[in-house]
Structure 1
């Protein structure tokens, strides 16, 4: 297969959904063309590939389009999964899927309301937005305390080795932590904090966080993972 026949991944470096897709692709070793997107100026090629026009979007050589991050993760790891991320252990698959669903549902909602309170309230007064943000931070924190308990017990979210849930959830916990890192680090979730630090210091994470200019039709091809 020539380089021009590789799958095309539309991505945005800081987006946690795109981050999880890149993590799985990098872990699998599957090669693709990376197209970095500026969300305020999305290229027409992205819009043509997926009407949702949200990253990540993976365009396969046969023309098929995968535009859900978890589906991209499963596609890549189904091809090659050397660390067995799709196999959390006997009887643990349902737990893995439930944790991902809770992250993508309730936790993501609370995260957005905590980080961007002005987008989710009609009252633009600072005090109201601050109160709204604090409420959702507290509700998100309850979910994080549950994750902390799991990590304390086993070392990872599901069992004693990392699985799909760890890759899928870590980018969102990272985003939550970065809203107010001093506050996050002061909370009683030492196991969760260590898990996050280990994730952010991993070779895998470093391999997906390269900085690239915004893609245009005239851009040179970017191979991902970087060779």
Structure 2
């Protein structure tokens, strides 16, 4: 299906939404307990991801590509994005991560988009009134998981040797 991931299970079930694929994969193996004991973080993560995917991401695309959306200024789109950033700041005032004091599925699902937001205007983000979000993002960007996951690879071509990605050190 174009450029989006699709998961076809042996029983014929198809997952064509990234979030559904992630949740299915974690239901099979969740070595870092991102969903929590008895999936205790799953509902809250679902709510945050829904806001991220259907509100923040739309605002973020308008902010990143403001020249394509001339009906408003880049500042207008930044302010729209900040509604979600403020929500994250409030969550991080109580914990080191969005839902608790360790990374959960919510953090992993949201932080790549906050990273994109921070890169649109790096100086502005550094000066913004969101110190908790900045610290949280920095910690995730400096994590071993991020370094392993976001390695640069040359584009694979037919005939090239297979590339095996390793995301865990144990």
Q: TM-score range by the shorter chain?
A: 0.7 to 0.9
Deviations 1:156-208 (A, max 9, x none): 11122221110000000000001111100101111110000000000000011
Match of 1:161 in 2: 102
Question: Hey, what's the Cα distance between the residues in 2 that align with 1:107 and 1:147?
Answer: 12
SS of residue in 2 equivalent to 1:224: coil
Deviations 1:44-72 (A, max 9, x none): xxxxxx2xx12344566888764321122
Q: Which of 91, 94, 107 in structure 1 is aligned with 2:43?
A: 94
Question: Hey, what's the Cα distance between the residues in 2 that align with 1:88 and 1:95?
Answer: 14
Deviations 1:86-116 (A, max 9, x none): 1278865432211110000110011000000
SS of residue in 1 equivalent to 2:73: helix
Task: Quote the offset at 1:214 in angstroms.
Answer: 1.4
Matches within 5 A, 1:13-28: none
Match of 2:159 in 1: 218
> Given the two structures, how large is their TM-score scaled by the length of structure 1?
0.66
Match of 2:29 in 1: 80
How many residues are treated as equivalent by the alignment? 168
| CA RMSD, 1 decimal | 2.5
Question: Hey, what's the Cα distance between the residues in 2 that align with 1:147 and 1:113?
Answer: 20
Match of 1:70 in 2: 19
